[in-house]
């Protein structure tokens, strides 16, 4: 999706914190960044001052560089006080990657949703030297480009264990309707879905802060994909339901602290944009399905830009998600092509 500031949103800070440094975005709330080795080259993490310790929100990829930056942060902005808790918004590696390290090496308590913990722990234990037969079949069913398929079929796939430290047994569960005391504030837990199952967001009762993870981002739309683990999932329906529900909580003065990009205000408008963005994509996609097409053939109407090799995998799973939503919603039909790909065509 296009990375431009939408009209009506405001960014109180033009520049992010430098490596190993922090910006205080509210009393007792620090904004920090860790690097990622991809086009989206950073993840935001936050520290909330609990007096004699800190609660940190998310943790970054597991790497020697990230660990070194955390050590810098602990000695510098965190003033040598211990990290008592790590709260993980969702199970993706850039958010839970070093949570286990913070538990085992620094004695932090892990707080997250049950689904996030189970997904992350399962995936870290599921190391694969070569792609599984199920993943290869999923790629074929999505109509993956033959050259990309041939390359992926022979190389070691991405493994969670490459960038996520092992999670020790034991965590504290949070769920919809819970409250959590952090940084001298009481926060309501509201669960999102779509980008990741049972994604936690936190809404302060005491001021205007929202800790949004990747559920609400200001200038990009979170990736919403279907994978071989649950090929008939409908994350688009889950995303739209969550956005509509969370939009009822949004106030113009909310300062949204997300997992990527810059903190922003103007949340009601952004929620409407996130919802309209996917309704618009579904409408364009349905119009495009005048003849049978696979997921790999639907990038143009969905993304309205050229998809490069580095983005191909995420684009493919997002195309599968949108097509499957139309199929499960009864607006499109599908059939198997001779090459094994599902192809979709609109009804009527």
* pLDDT of residue 262 exceeding 80: yes
Q: Which residues contact 283 (CB under 8 A, 6 or more apart)?
A: none
What's the mean pLDDT when you consider all of the chain? 96
Would you state the pLDDT for residue 97?
Answer: 98
Euclidean distance between CA atoms 319 and 344, whole angstroms:
11
Euclidean distance between CA atoms 125 and 123, whole angstroms:
5
Cβ distance 89 to 114 under 8 Å?
Answer: no
pLDDT digits (tens, 9 = 90+) for 100-120: 999 999 999 999 999 999 999
Given the DSSP bridges, would you call strands 83-87 and 54-57 parallel, antiparallel or unpaired? Answer: parallel
**Range of the structural domain that residue 37 is part of:** 23-290
Dihedral sign for Cα 192, 194, 199, 204, please.
Answer: negative
Cβ distance 89 to 201 under 8 Å?
Answer: yes
- What CATH number has the domain bearing residue 142? 3.60.15.10
Q: Is 258 helix (H, G, I), strand (E, B) or coil?
A: strand
Cβ distance 253 to 204 under 8 Å?
Answer: no
Would you state the pLDDT for residue 7?
Answer: 55
Q: For the whole prediction, is pTM greater than 0.85?
A: yes
Residue 122 covered by a domain = yes
Q: Count how many domains the chain has.
A: 1
Residue 323 covered by a domain = no
Residue 149 covered by a domain = yes
* pLDDT of residue 5 exceeding 60: no
Euclidean distance between CA atoms 328 and 237, whole angstroms:
10
CA 77 to chain centre: 26
Given the DSSP bridges, would you call strands 199-204 and 209-213 parallel, antiparallel or unpaired? Answer: antiparallel
Residue 330 covered by a domain = no
Euclidean distance between CA atoms 28 and 313, whole angstroms:
39
Would you state the pLDDT for residue 310?
Answer: 86
Q: Which residues contact 84 (CB under 8 A, 6 or more apart)?
A: 50, 52, 53, 54, 55, 107, 108, 109
Would you state the pLDDT for residue 213?
Answer: 98
Cβ distance 209 to 185 under 8 Å?
Answer: yes
Euclidean distance between CA atoms 342 and 345, whole angstroms:
10
Residue 127 covered by a domain = yes
Residue 304 covered by a domain = no
């Amino acid at each position: 999706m296009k990375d431009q500031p939408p009209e009506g949103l405001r960014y109180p800070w033009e520049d992010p914190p430098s490596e190993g440094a922090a910006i205080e975005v509210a009393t007792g709330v620090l904004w920090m960044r860790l690097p990622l080795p991809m086009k989206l080259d950073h993840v935001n993490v936050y520290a909330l001052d609990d007096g004699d310790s800190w609660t940190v929100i998310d943790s970054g990829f597991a790497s020697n560089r990230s660990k070194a930056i955390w050590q810098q942060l602990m000695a510098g902005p965190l003033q040598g006080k211990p990290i008592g808790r790590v709260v993980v918004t969702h199970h993706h590696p850039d958010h839970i990657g070093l949570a286990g390290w913070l538990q085992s090496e620094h004695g932090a308590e892990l707080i997250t949703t049950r689904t996030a913990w189970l997904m992350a722990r399962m995936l870290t234990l599921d190391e694969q030297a070569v792609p599984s037969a199920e993943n290869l079949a999923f790629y074929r069913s999505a109509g993956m480009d033959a050259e990309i398929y041939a390359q992926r079929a022979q190389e070691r796939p991405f493994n969670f264990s490459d960038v996520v430290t092992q999670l020790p047994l034991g965590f504290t569960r949070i769920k919809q309707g819970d409250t959590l005391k952090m940084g001298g504030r009481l926060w309501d837990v509201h669960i999102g879905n779509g980008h990741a199952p049972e994604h936690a967001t936190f809404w302060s009762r005491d001021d205007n802060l929202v800790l949004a993870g990747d559920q609400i981002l200001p200038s990009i739309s979170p990736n919403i994909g279907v994978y071989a683990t649950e090929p008939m999932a409908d994350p688009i329906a889950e995303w739209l339901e969550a956005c509509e529900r969370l939009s009822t909580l949004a106030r113009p003065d909310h300062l949204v602290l997300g997992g990527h990009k810059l903190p922003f205000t103007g949340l009601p408008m952004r929620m409407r944009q996130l919802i309209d963005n996917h309704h618009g994509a579904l409408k364009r996609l349905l119009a495009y399905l005048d003849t049978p097409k696979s997921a790999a053939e639907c990038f143009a109407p969905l993304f309205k830009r050229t998809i490069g090799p580095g983005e191909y995998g995420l684009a493919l799973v997002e195309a599968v998600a949108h097509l499957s939503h139309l199929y499960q919603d009864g607006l499109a039909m599908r059939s198997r092509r001779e090459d094994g790909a599902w192809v979709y065509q609109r009804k009527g």
